[in-house]
Amino acid sequence: MIFKTREEVTLLATFHQYPELIYLLARVIIVREVQLKWSPETVERSDIGLITEVAEKFEVVAHLEVTKTGVRQLVNIKFQPGNGPPQLDKIEYLELEGPLNPYPIPEEGQEGYVVVWNKHPLSVAAINFDSLHVIPPYIIGSDGVQITIRGLPEGVSGFLKAARAMLPPDNVNVVDVAAIEDSILKVLTPKQMEIAVFAVQSGFYQNPRKITKKELSELTEIPRSTLQEHLAKAEASLMEWAVKTHLSK
C-alpha cells in the first residue's frame, strides 16, 4: 500500500507505535467467511430432518449462551400441523427450555419464539474451535439449511473437516472477508485512532472501566471536552462502518 498524504503517513506511524494494533488488524484481514449449504434431500436423510418433520421453519435468531456441550438458542419456530412443543422436545439433541418471556410458547401448528438447548454434534463441533463463530440468523426448513461461519483459517479448516465427516455439505463457498486496511483510513482520523487505541489499552472500555475520562485527559494532556469529542466521533464512525459493512453482505 502506498501512503500519499500526511494523514496516511501519520496513521502508519500510529500503527508502528502500537504493534498490538497491527497484530489485531492482521488477524481481521485473514479472517475467512464460509457458507455451508445442505439441500432439503440431504437434510431429510439426516437426523436434522427430525426438525423439519416437526417444524416448517426453525430459524435460529440468536445464540444466547455457548458452552462446551451445546448452544442455548433463541428460535423463531413455525410448527407443522399436528406438531408442537412436545414433539420438538422429543428430538434427542434438542432440549426445549421454554418460551421467550413475556410471550407465550406457541402451540400445535402455531408460530412463535422458543428457547432451546441445541446439542447436535455439528453444533458442538463448532464450539470446540475457539477462533470460529457461527453467524445467526440461519434457517432449517423446506429449502434445506445454510449457515455462515467466520473465523481464522485454522478454525474454519478444522470445522469443515468435522462437518464433512459428520454431515457433508452439498455446497461450500469460501471467501476472504474484505481487508479493512483501506477502509479504516476513511473511518477514523489519525488523532481519533491514537486516542481510541490509548483508551482501549488503558482499560476505558472494560467493564467495569479501569480508568475515567478525567484520568485519560490527564494522561494524554488533552482537554476533557476535546477527548470526549474524539472518542464520541470515533465510536459513532466505527458503529456506522460496522452496520454498513454488515448490511452490504
The tens digit of pLDDT for each residue in 119-166 reads: 999 999 998 887 788 999 999 999 999 999 988 788 889 999 999 999
Task: Report long-range pairs for 22-27 (Cβ below 8 Å, ≥24 apart).
Answer: 25/180, 25/181, 25/184, 27/152
Residues 188, 75 within the same domain: no
Residues 12, 113 within the same domain: no
Over the stretch 64-122, which tens digit does the pLDDT of each residue have? Answer: 999 999 999 999 999 999 999 999 999 999 999 999 888 899 999 999 999 999 999 99
State which of 129, 155, 176 marks the end of a domain: 176
Residues 25, 36 within the same domain: no
- Its domain, for residue 159, covers 32-176
d(CA 150, CA 174): 10
Show the beta-strand stretches assigned E in 68-219: 70-79, 94-99, 111-118, 132-135, 138-141, 144-151, 171-176
CB–CB of 54/79 below 8 Å?
A: yes
> Is 208 inside a domain boundary?
yes
Banded pLDDT at 4 (limits 50, 70, 90): very low
Give counts: helices (H), strands (E), the chain: 11, 9
Residue 26 has pLDDT above 50, yes or no: no
pTM summary value: 0.62
> Is 1 inside a domain boundary?
no
